[in-house]
Structure 1
């Protein structure tokens, strides 16, 4: 699986988001890019957070059909659990 570095910022639970998963958790939410059509499943290992932010190596679960070539520096994305937006991020 191709991975890229990204910074993820979780939305505060009081604002409809969630508490960041514990350090070391393998987390696989839905990822959505405004520039790309459709939703994808992604995966990353949670790292220690500062102010609800974590730097991770993120990749697509379905690597064969996923648009890996479009994961370029500065690309912004949102993370979802079902229809609930829980975080936003940027490819570093």
Structure 2
């Protein structure tokens, strides 16, 4: 495992930020993939893709989302292209 030091993800069930690790040994079997963010010219809107892959052909999920910056925080305003397998 590689400690990224600064990467965190929001764990909805725990309602907290959890430290993200890079698994270099394939021992966890669940991977989260983020697309490159695409920003608007004014940097107030972004589109990003998020995917969970169990790395064992048993399933996963993904979606794309549009976020807008409101009062200094990123707020999801639309979710699309969702799938679960």
Greater fraction strand: 2
Greater fraction helix: 1
Higher Cα Rg, which structure: 2
Provide TM-score, normalisation by structure 1: 0.29
- Which structure has more relative contact order (CA 8 Å, sep 6+)? It is 1
Provide TM-score, normalisation by structure 2: 0.31
